[in-house]
Structure 1
Amino acid sequence: MKKYLIFVLILQIGFVKLSAQELINPSLVGRDSLRNGNYLTPLNLLRQDEKKYLQSKWGWLYRQYIATMYSYVGQYDLALQYFDNFYDEDSSLSAVDTVAFEPVDAETYIMDALDTVQALFINESHHMQQHRILTLNLLKKLKEKGFSYFAAEAIFQADSLLQKRGYPIRGVSGEYLNEPILANMVREAIRLGFTIVAYDEAVSSASEREKKQAENMYNKIFKNDPKAKVIVHAGYAHIYEKEQKRKYMAQHFLEITGINPLTVNQTEMHEQYNRSKEKSYYRFFSDSYTFDKPMIFVSKKSNKVWVSPDMESYYDLEIFLPRTQYKDGRPQWLKYDRLKSVEISIPNKESLVYPILLQVFDASEDVLATPIDQILIENAQKRILVFTPGKNAKIRIIDSNGKRIIL
């Protein structure tokens, strides 16, 4: 069971140097460097003071934020490792009659369920890049199905030029849009012709925030377009249709719009760094079935979708994500249609100060655009697998001394 569901909203941006006397909020470390595309500086500053942070009042936030930073630089395994502390071990022996269920491709099931649906809500854990692939892969099919609005919690309302520009800008478009896969999701939505909707808002309480999110979606979409169809990519419990600690965004949305969203949960049935902290149901299903893409399990007898028994009234669909398989150090689920995988040779590797960051940009975009792909490389190696937009690719290396090489 999760100990915390934590959300960090960056309200201040500034360059901060750590002093020996006082540690500051880890999410404010090296912000100017991050905006300038150098993700290494804040990461290296945080890592050099890790022991101090973990023993300080900032320990819990340090774990969350460095996990998020590792997701930004393609270190999926390290992101899982640092976030493990927020989960309890699940020692229960939950079992399901495997003969009674069959795995169904999640994309196919969702698309088949949308004939009478106006709103599709899919959630994510903010440190898990894998939680963004399902929504990204659904976008083209959703557009063909008549969905015309794309709303995401991660988008800052202050970025009024995002739709026209066509891509996120670091430090402007949204904190989590510093991560390439989420940025590519927004790029793809704009390319396909979706109207982009930023609906999150900084308010005085968590309960008020839930209601404000739903109100903003109504005012920006359904007030003037009552028959609109929207895909919403949100975080954690915002998609819950039943009150738990508070009334959530999905509940307010139904009350305000009269529209019952199809709610899809990804934040329970997935791998953890430590298997003992995985949901026991996830261990059981993933050990009983082999699957390499998001799946839903359906009863052969009743056609009812399996949802964790303690969460059946909270959301409609439970997604099971595959265990990560790696090729050349990169997760296999990173692949999607718009990008090409390419092996890159690293030049002058002996002269670089490691760790280094290898970044892929679209040369047609502004220099402040979020990378298309990037990977933190800890030690010298000859080649690395990256994902590029093809002929417009610009590839850059930054080392730990700030040296930059354009390939």
Structure 2
Amino acid sequence: MRDWIPAVIACLMGLANPGTASAQRNPFRLAEQLMLDHKGNLDYVAPLRGLAAADKTTFDSDMYSQALETYNSFVGKLTPTVPIRSATPYGLVEVGPLLAARARTTSVILINEAHNQPAHRAYCRQLLRQLAPLGYTIFAVEALSPSDTAINERKFPLATSGFYIREPNMGNLLRTACASGFHVFSHEVSRAQNKEFSDWRRSSNYRDSMQAVNILARLRKNPKAKIVALVGYDHVLEKERDGVKRLATYLRELGHLDPFTIDQTLAYLPSHGTPATKPMALVTAKGHLATIGERQGYVDMQVIHPAVRLVQGRPDWLAATAATKPITAPIPAPYADRRCLAQLYDQKEFQQYGTKAVPLDQYLTDGHQQRVRLWGLKPGRPVLIKYRPTELK
């Protein structure tokens, strides 16, 4: 499993040519080896220590930055997005009505995410709640390990459920999907389907074509089914670009269907009007859906997320997407005067699986806080807080 993960991550992270980094050490492989101990327990701090201590000149610089941003996002340290501006006066409108109208005309909705922006997963939880009454009952998750076939019975993820599944907001997304009646499955290439290609374009095309095959197989079993799929970055592109075809393109070609594709990764600041204060759809002056930037003309909708504001050290979108009030607690000795990782667990999950369970929330304290502020998933759900010391700067 560990040897397979970094190769898949290289594609998931959207590297233009994963083969260019093959002669150098893979920072994801280094960090992954540190994240799980020999018993499969999760250690979110060890990868960051390892990346900080490693000789950075031995890594591909872009992949190293992506690894660092990804593992930081797991512990609540978020990478700021750089917004683009446009001279064209685009507008921002509510997503709900536009989404509902298009959801009724298709059987597959693809929504992407930036893997270092957990807000995209938190927002996807809201979309699932909107789509469930419209007949959507299957949630396809690229990041879910194909080997985790028991998640629908267990109804929560574990360390072995997949690399990105270990991030708390991704874990909560899967918990919400299961609780909302969705059947969750992985459309990622399985070990049995996996093939190696020397050319990275052939490898990428094969992977996306097989992802499409896996989704279409579900539709063949149940032609009336409606599927929501969460993917990374460019898998939502509906047209070939630079010799590469993505999942949405193969769904059109192999399945003869028109998926509704949503891009969340565009950071946009309007030159006129008010910036977004919540996720909004980008539209023209006449109210039609608009797309700009590198995915212009390749997707159906772009959801613009507001710039992140920190409230008592936590991103404001946590409060906007949460179903509960924050849980606050004093930081006990000996953690109060040092940086530590504060982790909120579901009590039953932790009692059964310990640190193989994925936390409901977690973040690195700054060493000066007196109290932690953590977000649960459901009112009245028994939880417990754990602390892990760290010497990270």
Offset at 1:143? 1.0
Q: Is the 8 A contact 1:154 1:176 kept in 2?
A: yes
The whole-number CA distance in structure 1 between the counterparts of 2:106 and 2:26 is: 49
Residue 213 of structure 2 corresponds to 215
Counterpart pick for 1:378 among 363, 366, 374: 366
Query: % of aligned pairs identical?
Result: 27
Residue 267 of structure 1 corresponds to 265
Residue 304 of structure 2 corresponds to 320
Counterpart pick for 1:166 among 155, 161, 172: 155
Q: Is the 8 A contact 1:29 1:46 kept in 2?
A: no
Residue 95 of structure 2 corresponds to 106
Q: Is the 8 A contact 1:105 1:293 kept in 2?
A: no
Residue 228 in 1 paired to residue 225 in 2?
yes
Residue 279 of structure 1 corresponds to none
Structure 2 CA distance for partners of 1:309 and 1:44, relative to 1, 3 Å: closer
Matched residue SS, 1:319: strand
Letter in 2 for 1:180: P
Counterpart pick for 2:88 among 96, 110, 120: 96
Matched residue SS, 1:253: helix
Deviation sequence 1:234-284 (CA, Å, 0-9, x none): 01111100100311111111222222111011122x2xxxxxxxxxxx233
Deviation sequence 1:18-43 (CA, Å, 0-9, x none): xxxx9974333413249423211222
Residue 332 of structure 2 corresponds to 347
The whole-number CA distance in structure 1 between the counterparts of 2:167 and 2:291 is: 30
Q: Is the 8 A contact 1:328 1:384 kept in 2?
A: no
Letter in 2 for 1:27: A
Matched residue SS, 1:160: coil
Matched residue SS, 1:37: coil
Residue 18 of structure 2 corresponds to none
Q: Where do residues 262-341 of structure 1 align in structure 2 (5 Å cutoff)?
A: 262-268=260-266, 270=267, 282-285=268-271, 288-301=273-286, 303-308=287-292, 311-335=295-319, 336-341=321-326
Counterpart pick for 1:400 among 369, 390, 393: 390
Offset at 1:393? 0.7
Offset at 1:313? 2.5
Structure 2 CA distance for partners of 1:180 and 1:309, relative to 1, 3 Å: closer
Residue 28 in 1 paired to residue 24 in 2?
no
Structure 2 CA distance for partners of 1:110 and 1:356, relative to 1, 3 Å: same
Residue 127 in 1 paired to residue 139 in 2?
no
More displaced stretch, 388-397 vs 304-313: 304-313
Structure 2 CA distance for partners of 1:56 and 1:226, relative to 1, 3 Å: same
Matched residue SS, 2:161: coil
Structure 2 CA distance for partners of 1:144 and 1:377, relative to 1, 3 Å: same
The whole-number CA distance in structure 2 between the counterparts of 1:399 and 1:125 is: 28
Deviation sequence 1:151-201 (CA, Å, 0-9, x none): 01100101111111111111x111000101111111110111111121111
The whole-number CA distance in structure 2 between the counterparts of 1:48 and 1:122 is: 36
Letter in 1 for 2:369: Q
The whole-number CA distance in structure 1 between the counterparts of 2:70 and 2:257 is: 33
The whole-number CA distance in structure 2 between the counterparts of 1:332 and 1:28 is: 29
The whole-number CA distance in structure 1 between the counterparts of 2:317 and 2:174 is: 18
What is the number of residues matched between the two proteins? Answer: 352
Residue 187 of structure 2 corresponds to 199
Structure 2 CA distance for partners of 1:300 and 1:167, relative to 1, 3 Å: same
Q: CA RMSD in A?
A: 2.5
Residue 60 of structure 1 corresponds to 62
Residue 258 of structure 1 corresponds to 256
The whole-number CA distance in structure 2 between the counterparts of 1:400 and 1:144 is: 44
The whole-number CA distance in structure 2 between the counterparts of 1:60 and 1:140 is: 36
The whole-number CA distance in structure 2 between the counterparts of 1:350 and 1:375 is: 14
Q: Is the 8 A contact 2:31 2:51 kept in 1?
A: no
Matched residue SS, 1:123: strand
Tell me the TM-score normalised to structure 2 length: 0.82
Letter in 2 for 1:149: I
Letter in 1 for 2:283: V
Q: Is the 8 A contact 2:31 2:48 kept in 1?
A: no
More displaced stretch, 188-197 vs 38-47: 38-47
Counterpart pick for 2:106 among 117, 142, 160: 117
Letter in 2 for 1:385: R
The whole-number CA distance in structure 1 between the counterparts of 2:270 and 2:76 is: 28
Offset at 1:309? 6.7
Matched residue SS, 1:184: helix
Residue 362 of structure 1 corresponds to 346
